[in-house]
Structure 1
Amino acid sequence: MTFPDGLPDNCPLPAAVSCSGMIYMVSLNNPVHEQDCLSQAERGRAIDATGDNACIRHGLSVFPDFASCSHQQSLFPRLGKYIAIARLDPRHGKILQTPAKCNPLHMTWWPCKDVERNLLFSMAEV
């Protein structure tokens, strides 16, 4: 697997596994735009993060089910009003459960370099 340039050492995190199955993500746009699929690092945010957090900032926040994604959306409405779903497989990268205080089911997805992230997503049906 080839990942985007600029990832910190040991990133994706060593415990990350090959993608497999459905993920959910909060999106500002319908359909999902390329900008909706940028990591915090790609947006120039949290560049002072260290350790595992530095690596996590290079991945995308995703969730294993609609309910946990909807919970995140309710906590942080600025993230967007849409919930998108994608089916990932090993060619799409690596993923790891990275629990957050407010959302224990939070996951981080590190997409492979040439994955057109936004094209994988469609709007989730409630």
Structure 2
Amino acid sequence: MEWFEVLPEQCPPSDAKQCEGCYYRIANGNPATTEDFFSQKKLQPDIIFRGLGIDECVTRAVSLFSEKGEAERRLKLPKFKKANIALVTLEPKDGMIKKTFGIAHYSWWRTKNFNVSQAKIV
């Protein structure tokens, strides 16, 4: 696979699965743009992210939610005050995904094949 971002070795992790299904992403754009699907590392390259389960691989993943309600809860945070929720339908060509952090949070390693225009603001 040709990854959208440069990934460290052993990334995505061996227990990640091929993408398939519908997920929700917090997006600033309406419509969503490719910048709405950047990892934290790409958005803030000089920050060192710390916390349980956070490593270099996870910081280069895009956060998705399997439940719309979990994404809606994040909209209450000040940094997402003017954000939207985008529904994305992922296929195997779009990369690898792994259940991480919390009830409905997933980490997605995006390929260059992902078509941003299919993301729909809901």
Q: Which residue number corresponds to residue 108 of structure 2?
A: 109
Q: Which residue number corresponds to residue 39 of structure 2?
A: 39
For structure 2, the 5+ residue unaligned runs are: none
Q: Aligned equivalents of 1:85 and 1:5: distance in 2?
A: 21
Listed as ranges, the matches of 1:9-48 within 5 Å are 9-45=9-45, 47-48=47-48
Listed as ranges, the matches of 1:44-55 within 5 Å are 44-45=44-45, 47-49=47-49, 53-55=55-57
TM-score, scaled relative to structure 2? 0.84
1:23 shift after superposition: 0.6
Q: 1:12 to 1:45 in 2, by over 3 A?
A: same
Q: 8 Å contact 1:64–1:105 — kept in the other structure?
A: yes
**Other structure's SS at 1:42 match:** helix
Give CA deviations for 1:39-68 in whole Å, capped at 9, x if unaligned.
Answer: 111113465348852111111011002111
Q: 8 Å contact 1:46–1:57 — kept in the other structure?
A: no
For structure 1, the 5+ residue unaligned runs are: none
Residue 88 (structure 2) aligned to one of 83, 86, 89: 86
Q: 1:47 to 1:6 in 2, by over 3 A?
A: farther
1:2 shift after superposition: 2.3
TM-score, scaled relative to structure 1? 0.81
Count of residues in correspondence between the two structures: 119
Q: Aligned equivalents of 1:7 and 1:32: distance in 2?
A: 24
Give CA deviations for 1:49-88 in whole Å, capped at 9, x if unaligned.
Answer: 48852111111011002111112222x2413421110111
Q: 8 Å contact 2:87–2:120 — kept in the other structure?
A: yes
